[in-house]
Amino acid sequence: MQQNQRIILYILVLIAGASWTLLNKETAANIPAGAGTAPQAGFKAPDFTLDALDGKTYTLSELKGRPVLVNLWATWCPPCRAEMPAIEKMYQEYQDLGFLVLGVNMTYQDSSSAVAPFVSEYGLSFPILLEETGETASAYQLRSLPSSYFIDRSGTVSEVVIGGPMSEALLRTNIEKILQ
């Protein structure tokens, strides 16, 4: 094959690829109703109302004005276990500046009887919420545990960390960002 023919072939392949991409592009019109995207940096955090282990009820939207870390976890999850001491340490360090951690246990796929011993074992002092229906997990399109969402004072997701364990340095960087 001569060089000119090869160049023409490459150009035709590029045109075909670009055409395919444009013709198959997702638009708002062809996305099914209710099929939102997972929370992303720069977008409003999905709201939820959950009961805590201590009996209090928390609604995320009512915490507007406070920087919040929403950490979705389970007692059986090794990375969740590994990052809890760092999360507790950062909570202790920054809570006087208004920082709040909401530890959302995925109770619907965990054992509710295992939560209190876990909290005691790790000496957790931040609110532990019980997600018993899967609705919050669905709103956050939970795919992996732990999943963490750093939410700024305006209720906007600043950073998403899927998987873990998170290091103190990563926690500190993201907490200081949402404290601003």
Q: At what angle do helices 112-122 and 78-94 cross, to 10 degrees?
A: 50
Structure tokens at 124: 């957790």
Amino acid at 44: K
pLDDT at 36: 59
pLDDT for position 13: 75
CATH of domain 35-179: 3.40.30.10
Domain range list for the chain:
35-179
Helix axes 168-179, 78-94, angle to 10 degrees: 50
Over residues 130-154, the pLDDT tens digits come to 999 999 999 999 999 999 999 999 9
Query: In this predicted structure, what is the pLDDT of residue 14?
Result: 76
- Which residue has 């590994």 as its token pair? 82
pLDDT at 23: 64
| Sheet of 147-151, strand order | 57-59, 49-52, 128-130, 100-105, 68-73, 147-151, 157-162
* Distance of alpha carbon 78 from alpha carbon 54, whole angstroms: 24
What's the confidence (pLDDT) of residue 31? 39
Tell me how far apart the alpha carbons of residues 154 and 64 are, in angstroms, rounded to a whole number.
6
| Two tokens, residue 21 | 């991409």
- pLDDT at residue 10 in the model: 77
Name the 3-class secondary structure at 52.
strand
Closest by CA position to 103, among listed 58, 69, 57: 69
Predicted local distance difference test score (pLDDT) of residue 5: 83
Q: What is the mean pLDDT of the chain?
A: 89
Tell me: cis bond preceding 165? Omega within 30 of 0 counts.
yes
Determine the residue type at 18.
A
Listed as ranges, residues in the chain with pLDDT below 50 are 26-35
